[in-house]
């Protein structure tokens, strides 16, 4: 008498793996994780690091769509600051003193976490202080310095901002245009490239896996897991990654995945000059409520901003160069920053930031298994590490 066998085949599962050309080894070792982080910039890597610090045995994957981080993490000007007086006074008027203090505290604590995690020497952190240039229409900021200092005193226990009008001419700025100067000893600068490479290395050494060139097309979630679908250039269709929980850290590009998010992209143009003999200033500088910003990089000048002069065009996720803004920055270099000095612009690039109706970032749970850390308001270096820590806590 013959023996009969019951054969059970999951035809749908086999069909999926055949269609998507996934091997047994890829299925077992490359697809399933405890946590997935979408976005390989400052917030994404900081979130992944914090997750590993909280869950040492957990598997954590970072998916980055570009070869380099795609927003502004490797494209910023390298400012380690928490807000110019003009920005912070506008924040007080918009969100109130308590919320402004909390916002500055988050930025300050984020900077300290970044420095402690990577080390000042590793990221070439330098504390030369920061300055805000005041034109005639901005001179009222001097009258409100006491209010601003009192608002921030519970955090710093010192009067942070002071007038330094006497340094205007020694820095080489035109006294006919720049009428006031406000100093902040707590602002610094760093090397963005060294910072991001160090952050990637730190994450890898912590056990975080990082995949670049992995553009996420869509998400699914059920009671058991989240599914992250990534467009595959070499495989057919999509590759489906699975995780218990998911963090979205794609800043200005997040509406592709979560269309209801309240944010607008903001493109920032940045340039760097060749070295300038006997450069007259050192430190970080802002004017027009932080919309313009510049600093020394050795004896070169890194200068960026100006999007407030064409806000509608600059609400874009395209990395194009706006010629109107480019010409404006060149004019500002000639007339305000380096008047009467010869200079050559060596390189120009753009980065994409994210903004909202106010400066408050978004760090919250989207669902039981998905958290969101975005809308940094151009303060990614300052706020990114702290936001990553908070997002990791939310995903517990």
Domain ranges of the chain: 11-71+195-261+360-394, 79-190+263-355
The pLDDT, as a whole number, for residue 232 is 76
Residue 9 has pLDDT above 60, yes or no: no
The pLDDT, as a whole number, for residue 238 is 84
pLDDT category of residue 28 using cuts at 50, 70 and 90 = confident
* 5: Cβ contacts below 8 Å, ≥ 6 apart: none
- Whether domain 11-71+195-261+360-394 has CATH 1.10.287.40: the reply is no
Angstrom CA distances, 134 to 6, 174, 327, stand at 83, 11, 22
CB atoms within 10 A of CB 68: 14
Order the strands of the 180-184 sheet from edge to edge. Answer: 162-163, 180-184, 130-134, 284-287, 292-297, 300-305, 264-273, 345-355
Overall average pLDDT of the 91-118 stretch: 97
Overall average pLDDT of the 312-323 stretch: 96
CB atoms within 10 A of CB 20: 16
The pLDDT, as a whole number, for residue 386 is 97
CATH for the 79-190+263-355 domain, from 3.40.50.300, 3.10.450.50, 3.30.9.10, 3.40.50.2300? 3.30.9.10
Residue 19 has pLDDT above 50, yes or no: no
């Amino acid at each position: 008498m013959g023996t009969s066998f019951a054969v059970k085949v999951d035809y749908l599962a086999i069909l999926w793996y055949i269609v998507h050309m996934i091997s047994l080894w890829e299925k077992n070792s490359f697809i399933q994780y405890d946590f997935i982080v979408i976005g390989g910039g400052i917030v994404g890597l900081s979130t992944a690091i914090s997750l590993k610090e909280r869950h040492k045995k957990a598997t954590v994957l970072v998916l980055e769509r570009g070869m380099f981080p795609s927003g502004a993490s490797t494209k910023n000007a390298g400012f380690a600051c928490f807000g110019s007086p003009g920005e912070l006074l506008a924040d007080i008027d918009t969100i109130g003193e308590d919320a402004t203090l909390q916002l500055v505290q988050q930025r300050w604590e984020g900077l300290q976490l970044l420095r402690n995690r990577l080390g000042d020497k590793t990221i070439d952190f330098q504390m030369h202080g920061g300055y805000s240039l005041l034109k005639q229409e901005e001179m009222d900021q001097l009258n409100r310095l006491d209010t601003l200092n009192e608002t921030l005193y519970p955090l710093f226990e010192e009067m942070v901002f002071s007038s330094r009008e006497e340094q205007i001419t020694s820095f080489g700025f035109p006294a006919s245009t720049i009428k006031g100067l406000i100093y902040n000893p707590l602002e610094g600068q760093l090397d963005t490239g060294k910072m991001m490479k160090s952050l990637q290395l730190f994450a890898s050494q912590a056990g975080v896996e990082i995949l670049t060139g992995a553009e996420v097309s869509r998400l699914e979630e059920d009671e058991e897991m989240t599914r992250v679908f990534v467009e595959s250039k070499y495989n057919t269709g999509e590759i489906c990654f699975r995780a218990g929980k998911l963090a979205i850290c794609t800043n200005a590009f997040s509406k592709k995945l979560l269309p209801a998010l309240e944010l607008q992209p903001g493109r920032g143009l940045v340039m760097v000059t060749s070295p300038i003999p006997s450069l007259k200033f050192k430190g970080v500088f802002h004017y027009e409520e932080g919309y313009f910003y510049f600093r020394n990089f050795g004896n070169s000048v890194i200068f960026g901003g100006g999007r407030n002069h064409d806000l509608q065009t600059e609400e874009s996720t395209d990395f194009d160069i706006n010629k109107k803004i480019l010409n404006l920055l060149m004019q500002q270099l000639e007339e305000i920053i380096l008047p009467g000095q010869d200079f050559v612009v060596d390189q120009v690039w753009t980065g994409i930031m994210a903004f909202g109706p106010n400066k408050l970032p978004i760090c919250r749970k989207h669902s039981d298994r998905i958290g969101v850390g975005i809308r940094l308001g151009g303060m990614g270096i300052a706020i990114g590490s702290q936001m990553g820590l908070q997002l990791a806590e939310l995903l517990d």
